[in-house]
């Protein structure tokens, strides 16, 4: 996965936030989080849903039974940075409460049906986090 992510990150930065392949045309950001255990910076590309000034991200891990590492990083260290297009934005992460999470996840799944597949496959509630500029 690291090689794949490295390629997406390089393409994102070379093309002002635009990439091809599975992410072509989708809103994509790069999340800079601090490792929950290591304390090292991690960069993760991911789709987001714009929500006013917030960027909503979905800890789907393609429907895997566990949350992605970046989710644990944000829970441990909620202050993070994102790259959106050519902009770098300092953000604070907060997990959405269940009712809001359900509504926003449904909105994302309506736009990108793969998220409905992830939810059906995962044996867990997929967390949704709001990244709010600080």
* Structural domains in the chain, sorted by start: 2-133 (2.30.110.10)
pLDDT tens profile 27-66: 999 999 999 999 999 999 999 999 999 999 999 999 999 9
Strand ranges inside 16-78, DSSP E: 28-34, 41-47, 49-51, 54-58
pTM for the whole thing? 0.95
Cβ contact 36:75 at 8 Å: yes
- Within 13 Å, how many C-alpha atoms sit on residue 127's CB side? 18
């Amino acid at each position: 996965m690291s090689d794949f992510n490295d390629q997406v990150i390089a393409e994102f930065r070379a093309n002002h936030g635009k990439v091809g392949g599975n992410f072509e045309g989708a809103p994509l950001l790069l999340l800079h989080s601090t490792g929950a255990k290591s304390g090292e910076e991690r960069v993760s590309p991911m789709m987001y849903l714009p929500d006013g000034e917030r960027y909503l991200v979905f800890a789907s891990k393609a429907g895997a039974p566990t949350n992605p590492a970046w989710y644990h990083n944000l829970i441990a260290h909620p202050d993070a940075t994102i790259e959106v297009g050519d902009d770098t934005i300092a953000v604070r992460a907060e997990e959405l409460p269940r009712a809001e999470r359900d509504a926003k996840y449904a909105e994302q799944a309506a736009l990108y049906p793969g998220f409905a597949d992830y939810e059906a496959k995962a044996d867990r509630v997929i967390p949704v986090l709001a990244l709010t500029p600080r």
